[in-house]
Amino acid sequence: MLNRIGYVLRETWASLRRNFTLTLAAIITAAISLFLGGFFLLVQYGVSNALVQLRGGVEVIVFLRPDVTADQQQAIEQVLTDSPQVVEEFTFVDKEQAYAEFRQLLSGSPGLVDALPPDQITPSYRIVPATDDTAVVDAFARQVATIDGVYEVKSAKEIIEILRRVSSVARAVTLALSVALLVAAVILIWNTIRTAMVSRRREIEIMKLVGATNWFIRVPFLIEGILQGLLGSLLAWIGLATTNWLWTNRVPLTDLDIDALRATSAQFNWVVLLVFVVGGIVGGVSSAFAATRYLDV
Amino acid sequence: MIKLENVTKAYSPEVIAVRDASFDVPKGEFVFLVGPSGSGKSTLLRLIAKQENPERGNIWVAGRRINDLPGSKVPYLRRNMGNVFQDYKLLPNKTVFENVAFALEVIGRPKHVIRQQVPAVLELVGLAGKQDRFPDQLSGGEQQRVSIARAFVNRPLILLADEPTGNLDPGTSEGIMRLLDRINKTGTTVVMATHDQRIVNMMRRRVIQLDRGTIVRDQARGVYE
């Protein structure tokens, strides 16, 4: 048994060295493909985390005119109260509160704060929508905008839409590239194994003649393929860890109010696990195909 | 040990390599398959080793019908037979010892068995002391001895030899034949395809003659003609 393991390891190592350039190409292709696949998943997680955060916050803000009368304000509140199917709850932010928030937001630029007098700040209603249906929220926002005393209705839906659109394009591109490269990796690993088998056809012929089982002949090639896939996974892991670290520590997401736009560490670990599993399977399956197809050399 | 019954092998409808061949080789016999190139000698050996499958007829090896032997069992059939070829089929990057050991290694024999059996068989074929040479440092006759050692190291029941003296001069060929005769005397059944008249006439063993795939003569203690 030990003898056999020794044999398999020696043959695998010799074969990896013999086809170094082909092997390297296969590993790099697998690595890039797995990296993009992992990146796709991380973006997916990040975006969905960010969406959860945005939905939980205020989505619609009704800005009032600075000169709004108490009657107008009463009418607006009435509309909000009468629409429980759209408005889950709303809060009133008066001039002073809004100004305080404004000062805090721009605390880094005192000049800007001074340029805007407190009486120019508009009071507002912040609304938590009762529904995720953006069409309904949108229609409601348009309706409220026509009420006297309303200056403007802003919906956080816009930022969500932009996020969705950008991420869906990014995701489609990474996914397509990842799949295309995965196919390339399969073909390259398959080709490396085939070349390895052709270059050893005399040995294989003799092994078959003296009664080596097909599994005995195949196993070194299978291990070689799986190893190539796993080495690709290893490189992809390094790439993903670096990217994730840079994104978390070097990009100021908090300032952009999208600090949830990242994968949690549990999600990251899950992606890495997946990258290794897929890498191993891709290597194993491609070499198994080659080893079965070219055993009759 | 080997039995063929109305065996026909066709590579295509026009190319019939073996036609309706029947013969029975008892254990321990030495048989020559003779005939010109393309008469079907090699195909018969390949059929016995199950490297080819017949279109019609039955083949038994060591009491077992091998026609529908599943592919997974073929390796175990081959462990009972050694194969020797005209071109030796040695691995150039392995030494004499490693070439012979390879045959045991790949069927999972433990190291201590290999260390014991390989020198013994090299001694038998007359290559003691040359076990660390590479094939290209040996003469043709010596290379064929390595190949015979590899075929015999697992002590098979049957030895199949396809033109083993085809590349050798008469003197060297005689040495190889004496070796095959010695192996035969240990009880191993030997089937040898050849068109070397001199050797067949010298040995005076059973001769099965083929002509365009058909057995035209099966004679005990025969000559080439």
What 8-state DSSP symbol labels residue B52?
S
Q: What is the pLDDT of residues B96-154, one digit of tens each?
A: 999 999 999 989 899 899 999 999 999 999 999 999 999 999 999 999 999 999 999 99
Cross-strand pairs, B25:
B2
Neighbours of A62 (CB within 10 A): 26
Query: Which strand (E) or helix (H) includes residue B42?
Result: helix B41-48
- Which residue in A17, A210, A214, A221 has the most chain B C-beta atoms within 10 A of its own C-beta, making it the best mutation to test that interface? A210
Residue-level pLDDT at B91: 93
Q: What is the pLDDT of residues B49-71, one digit of tens each?
A: 999 999 999 999 998 999 989 98
Residue-level pLDDT at A113: 64
- Which residue in B106, B107, B113, B158 has the most chain A C-beta atoms within 10 A of its own C-beta, making it the best mutation to test that interface? B106
Residues in chain B, total: 225
Contact A214 B79 (CB under 8 A): no
Instruction: Enumerate the residues of chain B whose CB falls inside 8 A of the CB of residue A209.
Output: 49, 78, 83, 89
Neighbours of A30 (CB within 10 A): 30
**Chain A residues with CB-CB distance to B under 8 A?**
3-4, 7, 202-203, 205-214, 216-217
Nearest residue in chain B measured CA to CA from A8: B106
Who among A202, A214, A216 is closest to B91 (CB)? A202
Nearest residue in chain B measured CA to CA from A214: B72
Instruction: Write out chain A's pLDDT in tens, 297 residues.
Output: 566 677 778 877 887 787 888 899 999 999 999 999 998 888 888 877 777 766 655 567 888 887 888 888 888 888 888 888 888 888 888 877 777 776 766 666 666 666 666 666 778 888 877 776 767 777 888 888 888 888 888 776 666 677 777 778 878 888 888 899 899 989 999 998 998 888 888 889 999 999 999 888 888 889 999 999 999 999 999 999 999 888 877 766 555 555 567 788 888 999 999 999 999 999 999 999 988 877 764
Handedness of CA A222, A226, A227, A229 (dihedral sign): positive
Contact A209 B78 (CB under 8 A): yes
How close A173 gets to chain B, by Cα (Å)? 46
Q: Which has more confidence, A152 or B83? A: B83
Residue-level pLDDT at A297: 44
Determine the Cα–Cα distance for residues B102 and A203; give it in Å rounded to an integer. Answer: 9
Contact A208 B78 (CB under 8 A): yes
Contact B79 A211 (CB under 8 A): yes
Residue-level pLDDT at B155: 93
Mean pLDDT, range B76-90, rounded to an integer = 93
Q: With contact defined as beta carbons under 8 Å apart, do B140 and B103 qualify?
A: no
Enter the tokens of residue B162. Answer: 């396809």
Who among A202, A205, A211 is closest to B107 (CB)? A211
Enter the tokens of residue B207. Answer: 């001769």
How close A214 gets to chain B, by Cα (Å)? 7
Q: With contact defined as beta carbons under 8 Å apart, do A150 and A144 qualify?
A: yes
Determine the Cα–Cα distance for residues B46 and A261; give it in Å rounded to an integer. Answer: 68
The answer for residues whose C-beta is within 8 angstroms of residue A234's C-beta and 6 or more apart is A31
Nearest residue in chain B measured CA to CA from A209: B78
How close B75 gets to chain A, by Cα (Å)? 4
**CA separation, residue A260 to residues A50, B119, B133 (Å):** 5, 72, 70
Determine the Cα–Cα distance for residues A214 and A194; give it in Å rounded to an integer. Answer: 16
Q: With contact defined as beta carbons under 8 Å apart, do B104 and B184 qualify?
A: no
Tell me whether B106 touches chain A (CB under 8 Å). Answer: yes
Cross-strand pairs, A274:
none
Q: With contact defined as beta carbons under 8 Å apart, do A231 and A35 qualify?
A: no
DSSP notation for A27-77: HHHHHHHHHHHHHHHHHHHHHHHHHHHHHHS--EEEEEPTT--HHHHHHHH
Tell me whether B124 touches chain A (CB under 8 Å). Answer: no
Q: With contact defined as beta carbons under 8 Å apart, do B188 and B152 qualify?
A: yes
Place of tokens 């010799």: A14
Residue A66: closest CA among A110, A27, A124: A124
**Is residue A184 helix, strand or coil?**
helix
Determine the Cα–Cα distance for residues A67 and A71; give it in Å rounded to an integer. Answer: 12
Contact A208 B77 (CB under 8 A): no
Determine the Cα–Cα distance for residues A78 and A63; give it in Å rounded to an integer. Answer: 16
How close B12 gets to chain A, by Cα (Å)? 20
Residue A185: closest CA among A35, A297, A14: A35
How close A281 gets to chain B, by Cα (Å)? 25
Widest Cα–Cα separation across chain B: 52
Contact B106 A216 (CB under 8 A): yes
Instruction: Enumerate the residues of chain B whose CB falls inside 8 A of the CB of residue A210.
Output: 78-79, 82-83, 102-103, 106-107, 150, 154
**CA separation, residue A43 to residues A98, A164, A239 (Å):** 34, 11, 14
Enter the tokens of residue A44. Answer: 């997916």
Residue-level pLDDT at A85: 80
Q: Hey, what amino acid is at A289?
A: F
How close B223 gets to chain A, by Cα (Å)? 30
Neighbours of B84 (CB within 10 A): 24
Q: With contact defined as beta carbons under 8 Å apart, do B214 and B35 qualify?
A: no
How close A3 gets to chain B, by Cα (Å)? 7
From the number of C-beta atoms within 10 Å of its C-beta (0-12, 13-18, 19+), residue B195 rates as middle
Tell me whether B39 touches chain A (CB under 8 Å). Answer: no
